[in-house]
Amino acid sequence: MKKNIVFILLVVFAIPSIIFSQEVKKSFSIGETVTISSKILSQDRILNIYLPEGYTKNDSIPYPVIYLLDGSITEDFLHVTGLVQFFNLQLGMPKTIVVGIANGDRKHDFTFPTEIADLKKEYPTTGGSEKFIRFIEEELQPFIANNYKISDKKYLLGQSLGGLLATEILFKKTELFTHYFIISPSLWWDDQSLLHNASNYLSKIKKPVYVYLAVGEEHNIMVKDTKTLASELKKHPNNIVSNFIFFPKENHTTILHNSLYQAFLLEFPYKEQK
């Protein structure tokens, strides 16, 4: 009897080790990381690229692209791609490629030059947005078009200084994107010089464009400037379709995820299944 009990115990305790020894592990991937060499920026730049399930370059259907500023793995790339996947699965958003542009020096890339002494002292590396915009237009977008099956629908998403850059591109190179998602833009930069010229820039936009603006309970200047930009956009209804949402329960740290959820919800509203 004792021998039988010992045998049973040996079998019982041996089973888990047998099971675990048969585990199969596979790598998990949602896309690819690509490094491209930029002649304009004189440096290599890392792109994190989300490819939707079933993506193939030979697909008959082209894919919209979201270009994400602050697109490093440790920044906004993962949670933005999560929202994209959720909206595709649940709310009818088309399968979409996300191109996360990993940062080098975002203060340099996302700002235009200033002559304000205090800003130059506090942010000594700033002033590189003109080259960065050229990089997007002349190197990044052609690379994506040549290597992926994409449609004409192109989104740009930027927050804070990224929102400042997105606004500058909207004003100066509107045609680079069809949709602009601008969150908590740092329009205070250079004593609000970009915002002061908003009317002049916006009046020159001829091709229809969509702009989504959002701001939370943040610095008074940021809230005021974003609301001013929203008002300026509404003065040009023939060529600019825009939405503005104020998020009183969100701050500069928490606003991006919820505001992007609402932006997608405006484009792909929930419809009750019948």
Task: Return d(Cα 90, Cα 255) in angstroms, integer.
Answer: 22
Q: Which two tokens stand for residue 27?
A: 């790598």
- Tens of pLDDT, residue by residue over 204-239, are 999 999 999 999 999 999 999 999 999 999 999 999
Q: 274: pLDDT confidence band, cut at 50, 70 and 90?
A: low
More confident: 1 or 236: 236
Q: Which amino acid is at 154?
A: K
CA distances to 71, 170, 269 from 245, in Å: 23, 19, 16
Evaluate the CA torsion angle 209, 185, 141, 92 in order and state its sign: negative
Query: What is the residue extent of each domain of the chain?
Result: 35-267
Task: Return d(Cα 98, Cα 125) in angstroms, integer.
Answer: 28
Q: In this structure, are residues 67 and 177 in contact, taking their beta carbons and an 8 Å threshold?
A: yes
Using alpha carbons, select from 265, 204, 202, 208 the residue that is nearest to residue 229.
202
Convert 52-70 into a string of H (helix), E (strand) and C (coil).
CCCCCCCCCCCEEEEEECC
SS3 80: helix
Q: In this structure, are residues 180 and 210 in contact, taking their beta carbons and an 8 Å threshold?
A: yes
SS3 159: strand
Topology given in CATH for the domain delimited by 35-267:
Rossmann fold (3.40.50)
CA distances to 10, 50, 147, 159 from 268, in Å: 58, 20, 27, 21
- Tens of pLDDT, residue by residue over 238-269, are 999 999 999 999 999 999 999 999 999 999 98
Residue with tokens 């099971």: 19
- Tens of pLDDT, residue by residue over 50-78, are 999 889 888 888 999 999 999 999 999 99
Q: Which two tokens stand for residue 136?
A: 């997007």
Which range has the worst mean pLDDT, 28-32, 51-55, 95-99, 122-126?
A: 28-32
